Structure 1
Amino acid sequence: MLIEKSGKKDTVSIGSKNPTNAYLYIRRDHRPKVELTSTSMSYQTSKKLIDLRDKTVLKFENENVERLVLKTKTGRFVLEKSGDTWQITSPIRKSADKSEVEKLLNKVKNARVNKFVVEKAVDLQKYGLRKPSFVFTVYLKPNQARKTLFIGKKTPGGDYYAKDDSRDPIMSISKDVPEGLQPTLFDLRNKKILTFKRADLAGIKLIYKDTTIVCEKDTSNKWVIAYPESAKAKSWKISSLLAGLENLKAAEFLGESKQAFRKAGFRRPELIVHLYDKDKNLVESLYIGRSYDAKKNYVTNRKKKEVFGVSSDDLKTIEISLNELKTN
């Protein structure tokens, strides 16, 4: 092993382990004496070339990504970051699920090369990289620098051939990477029905077909029932109700047409929930329409622009009665 330090070179010869197998015999060229050193040197010096190479598949930092373009077997998707949120801009314009976008970014960012197949390919078609099945492109701030990963055919061993557009080598990567880059449009969409901050709320109105319940925060910031009678409210029931509203997610996106809204039964909903701030401004609303498929309900929010399908089980903590809210 050749060592260079401060311009000076030295050669170290590495021998076998000592009788106790705890140390290695070594000798330096400029010292005739045989010495002992840690057996870890044997591990360090027996590394192959691939062990020493940077095995990052595509180098970028998530926080610098402003745009993601993903072409897969399931379609082509364009996502753009605005502040702390992500938007789908193609094939439709809708809010994106931030956690799903980050999952895609992490799948490629954390990917590692299993093998460098060739240093420079003459025929990309051989590896399925002339017209790749997967193209993952990120645009980075501040100057929209582009980073692209192409993923082609399967290797004989079950990996996939891949190539960083900015580098020559063809590499093989785990099948987990392309398998994790096949989202559907549903996967990518933000499925949260309502948007509000619990700390901003000071009023809740539940409007059923036959009764209305109003809850408000009193001067000590505790929830009380204000209508149809004055009573103390179970704080844990209010917390459960708000958690149910916060966590309510679409199981289906059912459209924006007038026909979709008529079918949902919002003209006479099963329940309307209005949320207000301390100044009695309307913050958010949930409209629960008729049930369908035995286990789902049509719902929409304050904007009334789209009909969602949700699991009926997810509405159980929201559809609560006056007696369930009152303290004994």
Structure 2
Amino acid sequence: MSWRKTLIFGAILLALAVFYYLYEVRYLGQKQEVQKRAKKIFTLKKEEVRGIYLRIEGKEFEIQRQKEDWVIKKPLVARGDEETIERLLEDLLQAEQKRALGEEESLEAFGLLSPRAEVVLKGQQREEAIFIGDENPAQTAVYAMREGKREVFLLSLQHWFQIDKKLYDLRDKTILSFDLQKVKGVEVSYRGNKVQVKKQGQGWRMTFPLEARADNDAVKRLLEGLKNGRIKKFVDESPKDLRFYGLLPPHAEVWIEVKGIKKGIRFGRINSRKEGVYAQVAGTKNVFLVDVSVVHFLPKGAYDWRDKEIFSFDNTQVA
């Protein structure tokens, strides 16, 4: 084969390669990306979203991003559950139309004349909203449409399950917020009996009602129970009589010292259904329920938190 034919074949192969790249890779890739974006329910980027509005079965929830935290603004002002809200936002941003049904004249047939839910993502410059209606006959999706349009589409039922939230789901359920590693002191009052411990090195030392080594595991169990436990139920946002909940005076109190600042929580009586114990964080109004196991970690007196080892030594040093 002459060099001229080789050059011609090379040029043809190069042209085919360029065609393949331009058509198969760039053009089709861009086309698929456009089609994927068109199926997306929301086009805002995660970092653009500053607020979420939900109206579900007539109940409204307004959530705002404040610095790095989510805060509920409606129907009350409270810290949001970061994990739940982040998961909800990510699911909304990933949601796609399951199937487009086109523009419909009768929205009533899809439950969209009076939709069961409305979802709004609020950015700094714009908002995006959808309305959600009834389930489809196969019960695999819900009918939905964007605000200002009459095109109806199917939204997977799994996305509806993420949207269908109660106030409890959205609200922060932390019993008492503190850094476990930075606690320097703990004071517990249980039915008139007071016990105080202070951090000493890697362990704890009892300072009241007597000076003695404290049971490190017992102190740790209480702190972990308060840190990792979750509120079971929000009972009363503005209680008129704390005596009804056994919180005036409280049955027990816990005060935790972190960086010179004290945080406290009060415990009252067990509720009538035996679901948990009424509690209230010091400096706040609302009353909530916590699991009775948290109260079980409270020392009833000095003996419960006193170190009961007769001798304390390192087994590795014994010959």
Q: Which bin holds the TM-score, normalised by the shorter protein?
A: 0.7 to 0.9
Give the Cα separation in 1 of the matches to 2:259 and 2:179: 12
Q: Which residue among 112, 115, 120 is the counterpart of 1:132?
A: 115
Moved over 6 A (4+): 7-12, 49-52
2:86 is the counterpart of 1:102:
yes
Cα deviation, 1:64-106, whole Å, max 9, x if unaligned, reads 3211111122512111111122222122222222222223223
Q: Give, as a single letter, the amino acid of the residue that structure 2 aligns with 1:232.
A: R
Q: Give, as a single letter, the amino acid of the residue that structure 2 aligns with 1:270.
A: H
Q: Give, as a single letter, the amino acid of the residue that structure 2 aligns with 1:148.
A: A
Q: Which residue among 86, 90, 109 is the counterpart of 2:74?
A: 90
Q: Provide closer, same or farther for how the CA distance between residues 149 and 245 of structure 1 changes in structure 2, counting only shifts above 3 A.
A: same
Q: Give, as a single letter, the amino acid of the residue that structure 1 aligns with 2:180.
A: R
Alignment map for 1:160-175 (pairs within 5 Å): 160-165=142-147, 169-175=151-157
Q: Which residue among 256, 261, 265 is the counterpart of 1:286?
A: 265
Query: TM-score if structure 2 supplies the norm length?
Result: 0.77
Count residues with an aligned counterpart.
285
Report what 2:247 is aligned to.
Answer: 266
Cα deviation, 1:269-297, whole Å, max 9, x if unaligned, reads 22111111354x32x10111122223421
Point out the more displaced range, 63-72 or 257-266: 257-266
Alignment map for 1:113-128 (pairs within 5 Å): 113-118=97-102, 120-128=103-111
2:158 is the counterpart of 1:179:
no
Q: Is the 8 A contact 2:188 2:254 kept in 1?
A: yes
Q: Give, as a single letter, the amino acid of the residue that structure 1 aligns with 2:264.
A: S
2:293 is the counterpart of 1:309:
no
Give the gaps of 5 or more residues in structure 1. 13-44
Give the gaps of 5 or more residues in structure 2. 1-14, 310-319
Alpha-carbon shift at residue 10 of structure 1 (Å): 11
Q: Which residue among 169, 181, 195 is the counterpart of 1:213?
A: 195
Q: Is the 8 A contact 1:287 1:299 kept in 2?
A: yes
Q: Provide closer, same or farther for how the CA distance between residues 63 and 261 of structure 1 changes in structure 2, counting only shifts above 3 A.
A: farther
Cα deviation, 1:10-45, whole Å, max 9, x if unaligned, reads 999xxxxxxxxxxxxxxxxxxxxxxxxxxxxxxxx9
Q: Which residue among 68, 87, 95 is the counterpart of 1:111?
A: 95
Query: TM-score if structure 1 supplies the norm length?
Result: 0.75
Report what 1:28 is aligned to.
Answer: none
Cα RMSD (Å) of the superposition? 3.2
Taking only the aligned residue pairs, the percentage that are identical comes to: 21
Report what 2:305 is aligned to.
Answer: 325
Give the Cα separation in 2 of the matches to 1:309 and 1:8: 65
Q: Which residue among 196, 216, 221 is the counterpart of 2:178?
A: 196
Give the Cα separation in 1 of the matches to 2:23 and 2:229: 67
Alpha-carbon shift at residue 223 of structure 1 (Å): 1.8
| Larger relative helix fraction | 2
Q: Provide closer, same or farther for how the CA distance between residues 8 and 168 of structure 1 changes in structure 2, counting only shifts above 3 A.
A: farther
Cα deviation, 1:201-248, whole Å, max 9, x if unaligned, reads 211011122421111012x35321122222222333222211111123
Give the Cα separation in 1 of the matches to 2:23 and 2:241: 79
